[in-house]
Amino acid sequence: MLPINALFWNYYFLLTLLSVCGIWFTWKLNFIQLRYFTHMFSVMRGSTHGNKSGISSFGALCTSLSARVGTGNLAGVAIAITMGGPGAVFWMWVIAFVGMAIGFAESALGQLYKVRDDHGEFRGGPAYYIQQGLNKRWLAIAFSMALFFGYGFIFNSVQANSITDALNHAYGFEPLYIGIVICILAAMIVVGGLRSIAQFSQMVVPFMALSYVLIALGITIWNIELVPSMLYHIISSAFGFDQVAGGTFAAAIQHGINRGLYSNEAGAGSVPHAAASAAPVPNHPATQGFVQMLGVFVDTIILCTCTAIIVLLAGGEQTGEMEGIRLTQDAMTFHLGAGGEDFVAAAIALFSFTSVVANYAYGESNLHMFKLDNKLGRTIYTCGYLAVIIWGSVAALPKVWAMADMALGLMTVINVIAILWMTPTVVSITKDYIEQRKANKEPLYKTGNCAIQGKSEAGIWD
């Protein structure tokens, strides 16, 4: 493990920071994830159309889910269970619940402080709301560098690693050759920019998510008599009550929150890039808060739970080893026979590939911060992005995960500090949205509607 990861993860610094942040926004926003649970679904009505400046809210949701839904949902959940026991699943649910409030806050800020790039299209993210809202350019640059390292490069190696490992385990394919194929396919999509990535995500994400949920639901119904004991095992292990789990209380919390965070990305500062790129309906920053709050729910509460059910109903146990995607493959084979391994190999390939593609958009959104959103800047970034995919396809799993954890930790620390600092703005725009709804108006944000820190870019909300 890298030394800095010991601070982030082993000593609970980052887990505590995120938990406090989630609880803080849950309180400051009056349990928005419960009070407006149905609204985050209804806000998706009329969300399929964008304009010349931004993609649709549905496109932004699918793009964020493309990045979220990947190794964290399949390999990450299996790792959490093997390292922390079944109780890790409960703590995934906890971090998802408070993470929904974090996701709302950071996505609303991303939308509020978005800018137009040289092509007149919306761009944004933590670097932009740090610079415009807090007037801390040095901190904005620090975040952008961490994001370039993480989402622009290292996280793609994690996804490529999981794809090659799954296909090698199932069919014996040579990892390097698989990496080259991934590289070529990704290049064909990302060359079209954010709109091309959003269109790809809108076609693929709903299909792959629904397919996976239906398979997990079928397995649950087939093993319905085992479900009560499985749920009891999750809850009892989560609090160390289970004799089998005897000393794993801390491990369950650590690995459950760790992998839950890696999967839903709440607080990491990645999703605000997708949120900022949208032209929301209704045209208010809080709209994207609700949209991306839904993304956290779908990713962790639904999809991660599906993997946990598949693994636990197959008798998955704590081994203390990072089994990763192979445990999920073996569990699916237990349920579906020989076709189970094929299904998981296909699922991890598709889930991870969509993440590889969407991650490109996050890195590309930050080129504007350095005035590199031009042909030369994009070419250099794209070449580095594609090279890392090939490297990740043949790298050792523990090494890749350790580097990914470091990148995620750096981004999260900077972003969480920023959004906590900007709590007054989050509360102000949320209150404005809710008050307009109570007055039976369609929420519409204009500059000067409410008090915010710093100022948004001229012309965006005028």
Which pLDDT belongs to residue 350? 81
Q: Say which DSSP state 55 is in.
A: B
Cα 391 to its chain centre, rounded Å, is 23
Domains of the chain, earliest start first: 28-435 (1.20.1740.10)
Give pLDDT tens digits along the chain (462 positions).
556 666 666 657 877 888 899 999 999 999 999 999 999 888 887 777 777 778 888 888 888 887 777 666 776 777 777 777 777 888 888 888 988 999 999 999 999 999 887 777 788 889 999 999 999 998 998 898 888 888 878 888 877 887 887 787 777 888 888 888 888 988 888 877 778 888 888 888 888 888 888 888 888 888 888 888 888 878 877 776 654 444 566 666 766 776 666 667 788 888 898 888 888 888 999 999 999 899 889 888 888 888 888 888 887 655 545 456 667 777 877 787 777 767 777 777 787 788 888 888 888 888 777 777 777 878 888 888 888 888 888 776 666 667 777 777 888 899 999 999 999 999 999 999 999 999 999 889 988 888 899 888 888 887
Q: For the segment 18-48, what is each residue's pLDDT rounded down to a tens digit?
A: 889 999 999 999 999 999 999 988 888 777 7
Lookup: tokens for 308: 């946990």
Among all chains, which residue has been given the structure tokens 């993609």? 55
Structure tokens at 354: 């969509």
How far, in Å, CA of 77 to CA of 69, rounded?
Answer: 12
Place of tokens 């926003």: 29
Contact 279, 72 (CB under 8 A): no
Alpha-carbon distances of 447 from 124, 276, 278, rounded to whole Å = 17, 16, 18
Structure confidence at residue 83 (pLDDT): 72
Per-residue pLDDT, 14:
79
Assess contact for 1 and 402: CB atoms under 8 A.
Answer: yes
Distance CA(294)–CA(61), nearest Å, equals 8
Q: Are 91 and 260 in contact (CB under 8 A)?
A: yes
pLDDT of amino acid 94? 85
Which pTM does this prediction carry?
A: 0.86
Q: Which of 413, 419, 410 is nearest to 155 (CA)?
A: 410
Residue 120's Cβ-count burial label (10 Å; 0-12, 13-18, 19+) is exposed
Q: Is 246 exposed, middle or buried (0-12, 13-18, 19+ CB in 10 A)?
A: exposed
> Burial of 421 by CB count in 10 Å (0-12 exposed, 13-18 middle, 19+ buried)?
middle
Provide the token pair at 150. Answer: 């993480």
Dihedral of alpha carbons 397, 403, 406, 412, sign: negative
Q: Where are the beta strands (DSSP E) in 58-134?
A: 115-116, 122-123
Residue 117, by phi and psi: left (phi above 0), alpha (psi -120 to 50) or beta? Answer: beta
Q: What pLDDT score does 243 carry? A: 43
Between vectors from CA 260 to CA 406 and to CA 425, what angle results, nearest 5°?
Answer: 80
CA distance 34 to 84: 28
d(CA 42, CA 22): 23
Supply the pLDDT for residue 421: 95
Contact 419, 392 (CB under 8 A): no
Instruction: List beta partners, residue 123.
Output: 115
pLDDT value of residue 246 = 47
Tell me the per-residue pLDDT of 71-85, one tens digit each, with 9 for 90 and over.
667 767 777 777 777
* Helix, strand or coil, per DSSP, at residue 307: helix
Q: Coil, strand or helix: which one is 278?
A: strand
pLDDT at 317: 58
For residue 426, the model assigns a pLDDT of 96
Hey, which residues does 116 pair with through a beta bridge?
122
